[in-house]
Homo-oligomer: A and B are copies of this chain.
């Protein structure tokens, strides 16, 4: 396409755009039914997920990951703490920090939800050939903002270590 020209129909990756929409919709839809029973929403799910994956994370780090304001986070975090899914502990080095940890109850719920989504993922990989997992990982990684990719991968690796260690 010449510089400055309007995009034509055929230039758009309609298939991927729409498949991503539907795939993501079903993917996040799985946990919704379970969350309903706890009177929680997707916001709670996201918070619980990342706290469980990164035990002892700072509130500021969570805000960065979720990309929301502290006021928005505050509301759902308070509910999760009040209902015993998450605890906050004063930082050892920096006592201003309120480090976040999932309780046993919180971890159980987080795992339950992750397992639901994992079933969908494994079902998909089972239908596709070997190498599908690696291909999906590479595709999704390449879809992330390049100036963010490193951080995300580091975060995932760090979380894997943290949870394997524990």
Contact = CB atoms under 8 A, between A and B. Distances in A.
Given A12-B114, A53-B14, A121 B136 contact: no
Nearest to A25: B67
A35 to B, nearest CB: 15
Chain A interface size band reads 35 or more
Contact of A117 (B17, B122, B138): B17
- Looking at chain A's contact residues, the main secondary structure is helix
A40 to B, nearest CB: 17
B15 A20 contact: no
A27 B20 contact: yes
Interface in A81-99: none
Copies of the protein in its oligomer: 2
A19 B144 contact: yes
A23 B111 contact: no
Contacts of A27: 20, 143
B140 A14 contact: no
Contacts of A105: none
Given A114-B7, A139-B124, A144 B12 contact: no
Interface in A16-37: 16-27
Interface of A: 6-7, 9-27, 46, 49, 53, 67, 108, 111-112, 114-115, 117-118, 120-125, 127-128, 132-133, 135-145, 148, 152, 155-156, 159-160, 163-164
Given A15-B137, A15-B160, A139-B139, 6 more contacts: A11-B118, A22-B144, A23-B141, A24-B24, A26-B143, A127-B142
